[in-house]
Structures are given as structure tokens and as C-alpha cells.
Structure 1
Amino acid sequence: MTIQPQPFKLQVPDASIADLRVRLLRARLPDQAPGEPWAYGTDVAYLSTLVEYWRDRFDWRAQEARLNAFPQYKVQLHGIDLHFLHVPGVGPDPHPLLLSHGWPGSIFEFIELIPRLTDPERFGGDPADAFTIVAPSLPGYGLSFAPGQPRFGVESIADCLAALMSEVLGYRKFGAQGGDWGAFVTARLGYAYPERLSGIHLNMMPIRRDPTILSDPTPEESRFLDELQVWLKEETGYQWIQGTRPQTLAFALTDSPTGLAAWIVEKFRAWSDCGGDIEAVFSRDHLLANISLYWFTGAIGSSFWPYYARMHGPWPIPYGEAVAVPTGYCEFPREMLRPPRSAAERTFTNLQRWSVMERGGHFAAMEQPEALAQEVRALFRMLR
């Protein structure tokens, strides 16, 4: 080990919590557009109740303590202070596993998943399936952000995390898992560092969103192309502004906690298996823990950068290239896009496990932590 990580404990200043409450007290809400709630974005009535709860009843210190229950560190790497959890496994030979979150998530996504992976016996599993978990705040996100630091796209995030696992923590071979941007980072790791990866697991399939990729499609491929057309038309507005004018949007969301909550919570509702009732899947405390981390760290603007890098650079897996490391994938029914296996196999040429799940959406680690943990364990059990 050439670089020594330093133990870290999160403690937001009391003054920052007080400032947030004052801003929430002074929130100015828009009127509700005519039509069904949520038809044009975040519902005013719902957000009003969420802001009231955030201001008057939400206990940040309790959520902070949940995170601080895990061993945390910071290390100077690739020009930033990288934050990560490093949680030892409880078993005869825990395998190192890198967990990568996405946007608009954070390491709070993994609160329920990590214990199921580090100590499977506690949840009725086999201790032989235990992992030692490394879960970073992605560079530019949350506690891996400081004003003025370099910005990171998928490729540079993957390089940074590979250095964390190999050069800092000394793991010669490790697994990786991710969804959203974390799936792209995980795939990039499998492509760029195959000799270091024992396998990768994805809960979103990061293939090109190009309607021309499938010629003479099968019925299943046609279903995917129909989904893709709707996605490109109706669901990518956030990508265009985050990918073309990230700085402009950052002013509004860095200054207004209400605006930040509206921007994030709409995605948790739209992309999850909640049937339109967001709190049927996510508690208010869990939603607000994630949003609050963005707020207190001021990291929303830098969290947009992978979108800018993606729109102004090549696809993270070069055209015509493949990821050949052993790969597992689980398709959750309310994931934003569900490519067929025939499309995925063009990029991921060593698919060892492909599972279709009964319930869940884009935020699998939060929505279905037990089901996701079982899938991750099953893949790496095959690879032992």
C-alpha cells in the first residue's frame, strides 16, 4: 500500500442544518399546472408536504449516524480527496467487491445492501458468500467533492476507482457491481482492467441508446426499440440540460433546497417500481438523507459532469469493442430501459448470469436490497 487512507466521520455543522431549515421555511413554490399530478414533473402538493417534513421533522443526525456506522475513509487520489466505505466481510474468505452508485443517488443507496453482502449469514445466507465491500462516493459526488476540484467522466472515474482498489487497498483481484452511472463505471472497469476483475454484476445494462443498433429485430428487440423511442422522446430532458449546460442548472439547485428536492425526487418516482406512490417504496427519511447529502456537500453541479462528458466524448466502451470478463445482470421490471439479451451480448460477451426479477426498478439497492444481494452472491459463487 503506497497511499494511506485517513479515517473519516461525517459531521455536518449545526450552522449548515440551521441554514437549511431557514431556506426551507422561505420556500416559494410554483402553482400546479393543469392536469394530472406529476404529468409535467414534480407534483406541487407532494413536494409541499416533503419540504414541510424536511424542515420540521427530518432528523439528519440520525441518518448521519447510519452512515457513520460503517468504516469510512478519505484518500488523496487523482487530484481529489476520494471518500469511500471499506466494510470487512464476515466469512471464511470474503471477496473484495466494489459498489458504484449513480445519479441522483449516493452511498445512501447502499445502507441496506451492504450488510447483506458483508454478513450473509445474518440474513439467512451462506457465510462463504461474504464480500468485503468498498463503496466510494463517486468522484464529484457527495463526500468526494470539494469546490474547484477536477471533473470526472466515466472513464476517469473508472481509472480512479481501479487505483483505489489496486494501488491504495492492494487488491490484486476484485469484483465490481453497479447501476446507473455505476453500471457504466463497472462496465468500463471490465473493459479497461480485465486482469484485475474477477467478474462484474450490473443492475442496469449500459449499452448504446441508438435505435439503429438492431436491424431486422426480433419481437423482443422490437419491444426494446419501442421502449427506447419513448425514453428518448419523454425521459431525456434532464440529460440534455445536465449534459450541455450543467453550470447554469447548478446555480438553481445549489441555492434552493426545494428546487434540489424537486429535481431529484421526480426521478425516484418515475424510475422506481412504486406504482405512482413514491413512499410505498422509499421512506421520506431515506429520500431526504440522499437529497440532504447533495445539499450539504454542494455537489449537485459536479454530479452532472458524467452527462457532459458522455455527450461530448465517445461511448465508454469503444465501438466494436467488448467486455469479456464474467458478467451477471438482473433486469428489474421498472428499470428505465430493458435491452434484450441479444443486444447486450454484442458488448458483454461473457454473460454468465441473466436474471429477470419480479419487482423493483432503477434504484435496486434501495428498492430490493435482498433480491439484489442474492443475485450478486449467486454470480460470484459461480465464479469461485
Structure 2
Amino acid sequence: MYDVIVVGARCAGSPLALLLARRGHRVLVVDRATFPSDTVSTHYIHQTGLARLRDWGLLDRLVASGVPPIRNLIMSYTGIHIEGFADPIEGITEVYSPRRTVLDSILVDAARAAGAEILEGFTVQDVIFEDGRAAGIRGQFGDGPEQEFRGSFVVGADGRNSTIADKVGADFYRVVPASCFVYYSYFSGLDWGFQHRTGFNEQQIGTWPTNDGLNLLSLLRRREHFSAFRTDVENNFHAVYDEVVPELGEELRAKGKREENFRVMRYPDNYYRRSNGPGWALVGDAGYHKDPFTGWGITDAFVYAQLLADHLHEGLAGERPIDEAVAEYARLRDERSKSTFEFTCMISELLPLPPFFDSVLRAASQSPEYTKKFYGMIGGGIHSEEFFAPGHLEKLYEEVGTPRDKRLLTAA
């Protein structure tokens, strides 16, 4: 009998298991994958997420993998160019974009070392209920016989197509339709650092260095172009780079060598899903998902896995009823993630910015100090309410000489 059964061993599940096991709880983690293995991902970890890895004693292992640090960010959006980096956030002065074969293995190994039992290659087919509460899981290894595992609590950390969410009947209560699709692959021969460029024709390119001397190159286009794009991915991929930043497109053709197949992310809608119930909870993309544009998937998985671990521990230790504690986790997750969710949904449409955001970001791009604040907000060190505070915006507009008729102070 386990205290907690976690389904899904990647960026939300293994940290949750690690933190619970370190507190003395008996934890089982199952995943249909075996590790190391790849998965479709943005790779990007914000400073806030890296601070979690450091606190868990895992950041040094990530750095030792050879993934290069990123200390300068270049972002452009429909004519607004912002280049710089945030001040240290929780002592973290850089960001990283590791391969998931590297990152997930570090997390799984750490959870196992902490005392969690890890079963790889196990596919969950159902959730066991007793007296109206989740009480275990049922599944199998490959084509083997069906097996059951019992636990006091079941957590779905099994991604956007969560089996656990489906089996417990977790309903969606906020859905924002997805706007884009993503193609990416890994290229050698380039040294572009981090680039996040959005053109005027509703398409975006992104580049960042990852493990093994490779650069991840991606693009986003609106969904209505998906069928036409997939008819000739190679040439269409190059064409988007040519159109968004012609000099990068030229260098890509001259020096870049694609080392792996293209991956495609045709993401589902942005959503919040009910993430707690009698004996169960959801964490990571299983309960809350947004477009990959802002790269917050991995970091949010870390942050809210830690939040859930804290609340599960309260319940398991008898400090308060466990369902009450987990309900508070879900409420706090929604409250704390709201601004990231809304900003991501807005900017990922690849459409012209609303006038207020255009005014603020255009001014911020002209101020080195406010550029740092912008990246501080993106990296999780400054709350959006602080960044967009009218008093701060007044000073920004005055600093950069924004015409008075362009000085918008509120989104309304």
C-alpha cells in the first residue's frame, strides 16, 4: 500500500515523487515510457524553474550535461525588438534548454534515489475507486497480465492526454482555442543563441542552444496553414526563416545542417481542468496547459509539483484533511498561474498586440532598465501587476519620450 501513486514520470511527476519521498512517504511512480527517452517539448527552463532544480540539488547535474547557459535573449514582435536579460531571479543568472532525454533522466534518477519506486514501461488503463475515492490504478507492462497497485492518493502527471484525468472525470472549466502549430528540429553549424522573432505575417521563429552542440530551431504558424505547410515541410520551414529574418534564413541555408527529423506540435487548446477530487489530483499539463510560445511548461510543472507536494504532505502527515489540502493547491495554482496563462494566450495568436501592450512593450524596448524588468516578468521574478503598474509606466514613458497620446496606462 503506497501513500501516493503518481502516473507520469517526467517534469511534474518525478519532482513530486522526489519531494514526497524525501519527506518519508511511500511513493510509486509509473510511466508508459522508459528512460532516457525523448518527448515533444520547448526544452526551455526559466530562472524560476532552475531555482527549483537548485533547491532540489539537481541543477549541478543539469549543468554537467554540457547544456550551454543562455544569458542574452533577443525577442521581436511585429516591429518591437527587445534584447537583454533579467536581473538574477532567486540567485539564478542564466537559463538553459536541455534535451528531454537529459532532463527527464535526471529527474527520474533523483526520484528513485530519494526512495520512490519507479516502474517504467507500465501503461495505466484505469483508476480504482473505493467508497467514492480514488484508491489505486490498474494497468500492465506491454502485453503482460493486468496488475493493480493500491494507494491512499493518486496523482495524474501524465500530460495533456491524461488517462487519469479522463478516468476521474475531470472537467474543463476554462478553454481558450489554440492558434498555432509548431515544427522544430536540431541543427549543427549555427551559433545564434536565443532568438524569438515574430514577423508581420503571422509566423514566428525561435532558436536556442541545447545539448551536444546543437541548436533547436522552431517555427510557429497559425493553424489554418497546417495542411499546406505539411506538404513540403523542409522547404516551407526554410521559407519562414527567409521571410521573418532574411539574414538568418540565408545563414541557415549556407551553414546549418539538420541532424534529426522534424517534430510537430499541433497543440490542443489552452485550458484549465478540475485538478482535485476525492483521493486524486492532477499536476502539470494534465490539469493546466497553455501554448508553448512563452516556454512555461517545464517551469510550471516544477513550481506546481512542489506546491502539490507541500499540500499532500500536510494531508499525509495528518496536519489537515488531505482533500482539503489538495483543494487549496488547485486554488493557488489557478490564482498564481492566471497572468502567465492570459499573457500566453494573447501573444501566441501571432496577431498585432492590443494597443495597451503595444504601447508598453514598445516603450520598454527603448529602456535598458525596463527591458530587464520585462525579462524579469517573463522569467518569473516580477509579477505582471508590478510590471504594468500605472506609476511605473508613467516613469517609463517619460524616460523614453513616448508621445502623450500614446501613453496608455491600462488595458481597458
Shorter-chain TM range is: under 0.3
Length-normalised TM-score, structure 2:
0.25
Q: Could you say which structure has the higher helix fraction? A: 1
Taking structure 1 as the reference length, the TM-score comes to: 0.26
Higher strand share: 2
